[in-house]
Each structure stands twice: as structure tokens, then as C-alpha cells.
């Protein structure tokens, strides 16, 4: 995505537009995708993942008011840091799985359907990246947060994230109708979320086999860093620290298998 996309609300589907936060980085790719949802003709909207506490970004979002509700896919700061302040600015409740990020008291639970801005938004519990991760299902797309990214793969943020949970969440997304559009928390939209989720599952199975082989070769109880040095030798070292989180999750998964 071009840097020229910063500050511009871009319509992606008939009901979803994206405003890219200017917080690019190793973990955030081009930046955080803040999604603005509304049915065609609706005066109000729903905002998903307001992103960092960036005054300019939040002001651009506030220009989309009235906002009926703010939703969080999970509590990592690049998605949630600005949420409560934004909710106050536009006088809208903030709903999340984790009570720490809520404004107005309501949470998010499996099977919840949020009726707002002319839309029915279904909550899909998808823990794994973090314990509090959820996706949001619209008629024409699914907002995936960091469960599935628009480019590359995501991290299982151990110890909060657990690999067994993550694999189950990927299988849930892989079982959606073929051609479901994915609207991720980072990176470009995915024309076929089911294909992306199946690709993620294959990648995780491959990595898990590599980790298992590395443990056998190293012997004893190798550290996560020792495993990373073998399995992720071809990966940029700037990614080794988050890779360690995933390896710890994989080692725990193998111990519990």
C-alpha cells in the first residue's frame, strides 16, 4: 500500500472503508487498518480498531461521526491505544473482550450480533494471536484483526496467545464460504479469506514440524532462541524476537500434545 494512502478513507466493499494509521513498522506492516463500517445510505457508522493514540488519525475518524459503537479485535496498543479517547470524542461506547479497554460497560461474547449503522455484525471468537482476539463477520466480508494479515503471517503472542487456540481459529475461518473477503488489521484486503486461512494452517504445520525436528537435533530442552536460530535462520533478525513468542507457543503445544 502506498504511503499516499495515509489520511485517506478508502472504500473497500459496499459496507467497509479503511483509514490507514500512520504507524508503519516491523509488526504493523504499513500501519494499522482502522475500519469504518456502514450500510449504504446510513448516516452513522461503526469504527473497528481506532488504532494508536494519534491525534490526527483520531480526528479524521471523528469526521465520520455519528459513530454508534467502537469495536476492538483485540487489545494490542496498535489497535486499542486510541479507543477510549476516541469513544469519548464521538460519544460512543467501546466494546471489547477485555474489560480494560471498554467504555460504557458492554463486552463482546461469542455469538453476539451487533446491530448498528444498518448492519448486523456477528462476533466470531478467534483466540490464538491473543486470548482476547475476535473477528467480525459482515454479510460480504470478515474483519480479521491480527488473526489473519493481509501480507505475511501473524505471531502467536505467547504466553497470552496459544497455538492450539490459534489453529482452531484458523479452522473456523477456513470453514467460511469460499470467496469470503478478508479485511485484516494490517496489510491489504484478502479476496479469499478461506484460501488465506488454509495457507496459514499449512504454514503452521510446516513450522511445527521444523520446530519438532530442531528440538530432536538439539537434544535436551533447548531454549526458544536456540530453536529460532535453526528454524528461522533465513528470516530477518529483526523478526527473531516475535518469532521467539511463536516458538514458545509451539514448544508448549508439543509438550501438551
Question: pTM score > 0.75 for this model?
Answer: yes
Supply the pLDDT for residue 189: 97
Supply the pLDDT for residue 2: 42
Q: Which of 189, 174, 179 is nearest to 17 (CA)?
A: 189
Phi, psi (rounded to 5 degrees) for 216: -65, -40
The contacts of residue 125 (CB under 8 Å, 6+ apart) are 110, 134, 169
Supply the pLDDT for residue 72: 98
In contact, 42 and 66? CB cutoff 8 Å: no
Residue 167 three-state SS: helix
Supply the pLDDT for residue 1: 39
Supply the pLDDT for residue 236: 85
Chain segment 52-89, per-residue pLDDT in tens: 999 999 999 999 999 999 999 999 999 999 999 999 99
Residue 200 three-state SS: helix
Residue 115 has pLDDT above 90, yes or no: yes
Cell representation of residue 182: 478478508
Supply the pLDDT for residue 256: 87
Which CATH fold would you assign to the domain 3-192? Metallo-beta-lactamase; Chain A (3.60.15)
In contact, 14 and 31? CB cutoff 8 Å: no
User: Measured on CA atoms in the order 218, 222, 225, 227, is the torsion positive or negative?
Assistant: positive
Percent of the chain predicted with pLDDT > 70: 98
List the chain domain ranges: 3-192
Chain segment 148-202, per-residue pLDDT in tens: 999 999 999 999 999 999 999 999 999 999 999 999 999 999 999 999 999 999 9
Amino acid at each position: 500500500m502506498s504511503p499516499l494512502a495515509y489520511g485517506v478513507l478508502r472504500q473497500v466493499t459496499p459496507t467497509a472503508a479503511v483509514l490507514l494509521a500512520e504507524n508503519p513498522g516491523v509488526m504493523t506492516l504499513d500501519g494499522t487498518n482502522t475500519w469504518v463500517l456502514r450500510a449504504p445510505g446510513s448516516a452513522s457508522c461503526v469504527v473497528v480498531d481506532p488504532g494508536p493514540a494519534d491525534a490526527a488519525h483520531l480526528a479524521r475518524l471523528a469526521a465520520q461521526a455519528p459513530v454508534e459503537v467502537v469495536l476492538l479485535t483485540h487489545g494490542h496498543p496498535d489497535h486499542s491505544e486510541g479507543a477510549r479517547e476516541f469513544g469519548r470524542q464521538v460519544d460512543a461506547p467501546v466494546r471489547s473482550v477485555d474489560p480494560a479497554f471498554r467504555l460504557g460497560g458492554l463486552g463482546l461474547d461469542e455469538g453476539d450480533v451487533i446491530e448498528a449503522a444498518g448492519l448486523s455484525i456477528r462476533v466470531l471468537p478467534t483466540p490464538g494471536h491473543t486470548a482476547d482476539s475476535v473477528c467480525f463477520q459482515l454479510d460480504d466480508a470478515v474483519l480479521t484483526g491480527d488473526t489473519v494479515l493481509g501480507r505475511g503471517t501473524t505471531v502467536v503472542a505467547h504466553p497470552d496467545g496459544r497455538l492450539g487456540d490459534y489453529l482452531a481459529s484458523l479452522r473456523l475461518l477456513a470453514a467460511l464460504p469460499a470467496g469470503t473477503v478478508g479485511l485484516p488489521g494490517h496489510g491489504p484486503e484478502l479476496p479469499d479469506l478461506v484460501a488465506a486461512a488454509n495457507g496459514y494452517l499449512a504454514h503452521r504445520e510446516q513450522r511445527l514440524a521444523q520446530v519438532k525436528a530442531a528440538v530432536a537435533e538439539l537434544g535436551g530442552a533447548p531454549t526458544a532462541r536456540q530453536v529460532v536460530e535453526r528454524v528461522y535462520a533465513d528470516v530477518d533478525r529483526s523478526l527473531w524476537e516475535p518469532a521467539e513468542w511463536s516458538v514458545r507457543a509451539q514448544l508448549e503445544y508439543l509438550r501438551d500434545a
